[in-house]
A and B are shown apart, each in its own frame.
Chain A
Amino acid sequence: MNSLFYPKMAFTSMRKNKAMYLPYLIAVCLCVGVFYIMDSVNVMVAESGMKGAARMSDILVSMRSICGFITLVILFYVNSFVMKRRKKEFGLYSILGMEKRHISVMMVWEVLLTGIVSLACGMLGGALLSQLMFLLYMKIIHLPAALTFQIPLQSVFSTVVWFAIGFGIILLYDMISVAKTKPISLLSSEKAGEREPKSHWILAVTGVLALGAGYVLALTVKTPWDAFANFFTAVLCVIIGTYCLFISGSIVFLKALRKNKRFYYRPSNFISVSGMIYRMKQNAVGLSNICILSTAVLVTMSSCVSLFIGEEDILRERFPRDVHITAIVEDQNPEPLIEEAAQKHAQQHGGQAENAMGYYDLSFATFQQEDGKTFSMLSASTDSTAPVILQCTTMDDYNRTVKEPVTLGENEVAVYIMGETKIGSEISISGHTYRVKKLVETPPYASQADYLRNSVGVVFSNLEQMKTLLDEYNEEFYSDDSSGGRELSYSYFYNVSGDSLDTDAFSESLRDSFNETVPRLSVADTIWLARTDFYQTYGSILFVGIFFVGVFIIATVLIIYYKQITEGYDDHDRFKIMQNVGMSDKEVRQAIQKQVLMVFFLPLLVAFLHIAIAFPVLCKLLMMFGLFNNTLFLVCVLATALIFGILYFIVYQLTARTYYKIVKAKS
């Protein structure tokens, strides 16, 4: 036999199956490209030797592996689609006298051709784009970079190895599945008798329960810590619920529609409802995949973008002023020392310290007794289900920063509540009872982050009372051990004016300068220093997020495309019969449209519903990252949903055209 027989045959059969293979090939190219770009950008970052390269590289590498894994799943999924459609062809070959061994050889060639073409194209495109991607990355993290052209061999190698393994597994799977089937069933595998799907009440009920549980979890979350603890359970519940409901709930629902004779016996409902019952059986899993992927795209994109846009908000939250100094208070109050050191250091750099804000800070965990007024102190190592954090501050500090000052006598406190705690007219801490004079507004220096936990701000009339509490606390829990106790600290924030301020030099010398005069300095940080870190971290998250979304979208588009094609072939015969029985072209078109619309926009609508329900939880999760700007997040979610919706619609339009062509094809 001619040695070129198999490669030729593989090539011809791929060309014959263009409608199936071309999207497959494009998808593989894209996957290869994405993988290569992530890998090579990582290499470029590592080689650039910039500050923070190691951390950025860590994020990139771990995400590349996850991305790579997802791309393999996509390939596997698409491949199974292609194989299902081609079984008939293989059956014909074997009836014409090809042995399974020969078919396997042909498949090897097919996979080889696919692999070589897609690796070559994918990496070529990837090599061109990776330079741009690197620039984009640098732009996102606000670092200047020049356009260079670089093809890291290391990335070429790892891409080839990764996809060679992937294709190997796919080939093995294909060969086993062909070897396991008999020729005659290969021939008729497409026509395998379709029974009407049964209503699985158990599955439907499970779905409702799981989805309900997920939604309830999502809607009842109070604090960000709860959100963090419950988020993955909720996600899991929603995923399970989505699958169960698509698989079974949809059929239960459609059958109920069918029972309603007034609704059912109308031309377009008649055809679409009965068609959907079958369609849902074959497509439920695919549609739930689309739904979950769409939700993932929406969540990933909107959170990454809002974190990125919200960077400045997050920074301002951490740095109410440009410079942040904190020192531990011992015998002597550090207040004047810090003020002096700040002014001196600023002057050294040609500026003035101004707009300063300082306060004494003491916080400890307590447990609110059932009477609502007694707060027992908790050691840091004790677990409590609902600790209340007491944020202690002095009247002087408080009054300096708020519009409505309070006057407190001895044993009187003012209270501001950050969270859900209820406070009566008296509170008792560690045996001291204080009269709550007033519930007051939260001072500007209280961090938004305090809302993360259940906090209660307590304004004392003087610092001595706070010191007493602190001593008693340390006495109770750390008397035998000098280390690990609570400490009273003084935090000081200020801006620096000055036209020619060199922020880098200022930040670098800050700590040393303060250490000269201020004892027990704990924090000396500037917003400028933090900004670089922030940009790198959140920029990397956004960058990686873009790739994830890219991969998710590739997956979604492919699933939609292959669903449309498969259904087109299935529906072709049905619509022909309907035309014979007296359905006009227009009616056929309407029925098709209604059916396809229902099928393909259902997952999108459910995805929108999911994200709407998840919105409060996601807000709280973003608080964990320091983003408290819910409006920003809302805008991001809406924008992402809109863009994704448009994209989805375009994909639907394009694939629906292919679908319609198949349905209307002669013969």
Chain B
Amino acid sequence: MALLEVNHLKKIYTTRFGGNQVQALTDVGFTVEQGEYVAIMGESGSGKTTLLNILASLDQPTDGEVLLNGTDIASIPDRQMSAFRRENLGFVFQDFNLLDTFSLNDNIALPLVLSRKSPKEIHQRIEPIARMLGIHDLLQKFPYEVSGGQKQRAAVARALVTNPQIVLADEPTGALDSKSTDGLLHIFEEINRRGQTILMVTHSTKAASHANRVLFIKDGVVFHQLYKGDLSNEAMFQKISDALTVLATGGKNRE
């Protein structure tokens, strides 16, 4: 059974006074297996963010279903939703979403505290992850005291600390310089190698080239997908670039 199964997802936004309707997602369907590293690419307005919001259960689809481990996330009652999200999903955002009132340690601890874990357990869980991500020495610093790359690593640590089923990343390299981007992508590869499932939405060909599989979304449907297989990052980069060119020039001759 697939870890994540998305079937016929459809999302229509209606403006406040019921006038215009915007179809963000038309019919999206795909599956993600345990241990996969999937990138979703698409231009602005292609519905990437809507898709991610629905997967994150921050938004409800107009039609279709999302199954995580066979459970329809729409069937989870509201009051359990936050706990479900906290325990099964990890988030990495473009702008880090770290709270500047917390030290990095406390930012990482936040989901655990919300799950009422003991201080001892919190410490035991943060310790190895922070070591792996190389921010062990920075834990007592505050977000405004560290670099963007370090902030994003703290955000990744926060996403991983609950041992989620799947990590959802929304343009994780969007606000990073190229060196930090390389570092972060390396980290993603590393945690994926250790078995962590990752679903990443991105603009960046480079980021996508590190994934096992790349899905292309255009006009609210999954338009195309590429498997990395045994290709090197560079070859994958080339393949994605080609696909994007085809996508941009119109899809008629995609065969």
> In the bound complex, do residue A194 and residue B144 qualify as a contact, i.e. CB atoms below 8 Å apart?
yes
Residues of B with C-beta under 8 A to A274: 99, 101-102, 106
Within 8 A of A (CB), among B10-57: 56
Indicate with 1 or 0, residue by residue over A267-306, a CB within 8 angstroms of chain B CB atoms: 1001000110110000000000000000000000000000
Cβ of A569 to closest chain B Cβ, rounded Å: 15
Stretch at the interface among A509-517, A582-590, A617-625, A656-664: A582-590
Residue from the list B78, B97, B109, B116 in contact with A577, Cβ < 8 A: B97
User: CA–CA, A584 to B87, complex, Å?
Assistant: 13
Chain A: residues with CB nearer than 8 A to chain B? 193-196, 261-262, 264-267, 270, 274-275, 277-278, 574, 577-587
Total A-B residue pairs with C-beta atoms closer than 8 Å? 72
Starting from the known contacts A266-B116, A585-B78, 12 additional A-B residue pairs (CB-CB under 8 Å) come to: A196-B101, A262-B119, A265-B109, A265-B118, A266-B113, A267-B114, A270-B110, A274-B106, A577-B99, A581-B111, A582-B82, A584-B79
Q: Which residue of A lies closest to B102 (CB)?
A: A274
By a CB distance below 8 angstroms, the chain B residues around A193 are 144
Instruction: Give the secondary structure class of B's interface.
Output: helix
| CB-based nearest B residue for A276 | B101
Which A residues lie within 8 Å of B142 (CB)?
195-196
Task: Give chain A residues whose Cβ lies under 8 Å from the Cβ of B56.
Answer: 580
24 cross-chain CB contacts under 8 A? A194-B100, A196-B101, A261-B119, A265-B109, A265-B113, A265-B117, A265-B118, A265-B119, A265-B122, A266-B113, A270-B106, A274-B101, A274-B102, A577-B99, A578-B110, A580-B56, A580-B91, A581-B86, A581-B111, A582-B85, A582-B89, A582-B114, A583-B82, A587-B82
Give the one of B58, B82, B111 with max A CB within 10 A.
B82
- Is A584 a contact partner of B82 (Cβ separation < 8 A)? yes
Quick check: A574 and B99 within 8 Å, CB to CB? yes
Chain B residues within 8 Å of chain A by Cβ, number: 33
What is the CA–CA distance of A578 and B109 in the complex, to the nearest angstrom?
A: 12
Q: Are the CB atoms of A581 and B97 closer together than 8 Å?
A: yes
| B19 → A minimal CB distance (Å) | 18
User: B114: which A residues are within 8 A, CB to CB?
Assistant: 267, 581-583, 587
Q: Which of B140-178 contact A (CB under 8 A)?
A: 142, 144, 158
Q: Are B101 and A277 in contact (CB under 8 A)?
A: yes
Given A193-B144, A584-B83, A267 and B99 contact (CB-CB distance below 8 Å): no
CB of B216 within 8 Å of the partner chain:
no
Tell me how far the C-beta of A267 lies from the nearest C-beta in chain B, rounded to whole angstroms.
5
In the docked arrangement, what's the CA distance between A582 and B84, Å? 8
Q: Nearest CB to that of A193 among chain B residues?
A: B144
Residues of chain A with a CB closer than 8 A to B118's CB? 265
**7 A-B pairs with least C-beta separation:** A582-B86, A584-B82, A261-B119, A577-B97, A274-B101, A265-B119, A582-B85
Q: Is the CB of A270 within 8 A of B99?
A: no
A586 pairs with B79, CB closer than 8 A: yes
